[in-house]
A and B are shown apart, each in its own frame.
Chain A
Amino acid sequence: MMEALAYPFFQRALLAAVLVGATASYLGVFVVQRRLSFLGAGLAHAAFGGVALGLLLGTEPLWVALPFTVFVAVAINWIRRHTRLAGDTAVGVFFAVAVAMGLVFLSLRRSVNVDAFTYLFGSVLAVGPTDLLLGGATALLAVATLPRLWGRWAYATFDPDAARADRLPVDRDDYLLFVLMAVAVVVSVKMVGIILMAAFLVIPAACSRLVTQRFVMMTGLAVLIGVISSVAGLFLAFEADLPSGATIVLVQAAAFFGCALLGMRRGS
Chain B
Amino acid sequence: MNPSIAIEKLAVRLGQRDVLRDITFAARPGELVAVLGPNGSGKSTLIRSLIGLVPLARGQVRIAGAAPGACAAGAIGYVPQIKSMDRTFPAQAIELVASVQRNAWPGRLDAARRDWSLKALRRVGAEHLADRQVSELSGGELQRVYLARALATDVQVLILDEPETGIDAAGTSDLYALLESYCSEQQGTVLLVTHDWDAAMHHASKVLLLKQTQISFGTPAVALAEEHVRAAFGHVGHAHGVTGA
- Interchain CA distance A155-B84 in the complex, whole Å: 12
Contact between B78 and A151, CB atoms less than 8 A apart: no
Contact: B53 with A164, CB < 8 Å?
Answer: yes
Cα distance, A17 to B96, chains bound together (Å) = 35
The interface stretch among B34-42, B86-94, B167-175, B200-208 is B86-94
Which residues of chain A are within 8 angstroms of B107 by Cβ–Cβ distance?
150-151, 216
**Complex interface bits, A201-233 against B, C-beta within 8 A gives 1, otherwise 0:** 000000001001111111000000000000000
Contact flag A33-B89 (CB < 8 Å), given A162-B78, A165-B53, A166-B100: yes
Count A/B pairs, Cβ under 8 Å.
80
Residue B16, interface by CB 8 Å: no
A167 surroundings in chain B (CB, below 8 A): 52, 69, 73, 103
Contact A158 B104 (CB under 8 A): no
Which of A158, A165, A166 is close to B85, meaning CB atoms less than 8 Å apart? A158
A214, B90: Cβ atoms under 8 Å?
yes
Inter-chain contact B84/A33, CB cutoff 8 Å: no
A126 to B207, CA, bound (A): 70
A161 interfacial by beta-carbon distance below 8 Å: yes
* Residue from B80, B84, B104, B133 in contact with A151 in the complex, judged by beta carbons closer than 8 Å: B104
A45 lies within 8 A of chain B by Cβ: no
Q: How far is the CB of B10 from chain A (nearest CB, A)?
A: 18
The digit string for A133-158, where 1 denotes a CB below 8 A from any CB of B, is 00000000000000010111011011
Q: Contact at B80–A159, with CB atoms within 8 Å? A: yes
Q: Which DSSP category, helix, strand, loop or mixed, fits chain A's interface?
A: helix
Interface residue from A152, A165, A209, A216 paired with B80 (Cβ < 8 Å): A165
Q: Which residues on A sit within 8 Å (CB–CB) of B88?
A: 33
A216 to B78, CA, bound (A): 24
Which of B84, B100, B108 neighbours the largest number of chain A CB atoms within 10 Å of its CB?
B84
User: A243 at the A/B interface (Cβ < 8 Å)?
Assistant: no
Question: In the complex, are the beta carbons of A168 and B53 less than 8 A apart?
Answer: no
Contact (Cβ within 8 A) B133 A213: yes
Flag whether B56 is at the interface (Cβ < 8 A). Answer: no
Expressed in whole angstroms, the minimum distance between the Cβ of A216 and any Cβ of chain B is: 5
Complex CA gap A154/B78 in Å reads 18
Chain B residues with Cβ below 8 Å from A152 are 103-105
Closest to B133 in A: A213
The one of B53, B69, B78, B86 that contacts A157, using a Cβ cutoff of 8 Å: B86
Given contacts A162-B78, A162-B80, A214-B95, contact A157 B89 (CB under 8 A): yes
Q: Are B108 and A214 in contact (CB under 8 A)?
A: no
- Asked if A160 is at the interface (CB within 8 A of a chain B CB), the reply is yes
Contact at B91–A155, with CB atoms within 8 Å?
A: no
Q: How far is the CB of B214 from chain A (nearest CB, A)?
A: 23
Interface membership of B102, Cβ < 8 A: yes
Chain B residues closer than 8 Å to A216, beta-carbon distance: 105-108
Residues of B within 8 Å of A148, CB to CB, are 104
> Provided the pairs A150-B107, A154-B105 are in contact, do residues A161 and B90 lie with their beta carbons within 8 angstroms?
no
Residues on the B chain within 8 Å of A164, using CB: 53
- CB-CB under 8 A for A166 and B103, given A33-B89, A213-B90, A217-B90: yes
| B24 close to A (CB within 8 Å) | no
A158 touches B91 (CB 8 A): yes
Does B236 touch A at the CB level, under 8 Å? no
- Flag whether B6 is at the interface (Cβ < 8 A): no
Residue-wise, chain B 125-162 has the 8 Å CB interface mask toward A (1 for contact) of 00000000100000000000000000000000000000
Task: Output the residue of B81, B85, B92 with the most chain A CB within 10 A.
Answer: B85
Q: Which of A151, A154, A165, A214 has the most CB of B within 10 A?
A: A165
Complexed CA–CA distance, A77 and B214 (Å):
37
**Would you list 7 pairs from A and B whose C-beta atoms are within 8 A, ordered by A residue?**
A154-B104, A158-B86, A158-B99, A161-B81, A166-B100, A166-B103, A218-B90
Known A158-B99, A165-B53; 14 more pairs at CB < 8 Å: A152-B105, A155-B99, A157-B89, A160-B84, A161-B81, A162-B78, A162-B80, A166-B100, A167-B52, A167-B73, A168-B103, A213-B133, A215-B90, A215-B91
The residues of B with any CB-CB pair to A shorter than 8 Å are 51-53, 69, 73, 76, 78, 80-81, 84-86, 88-92, 95-96, 99-100, 102-108, 133
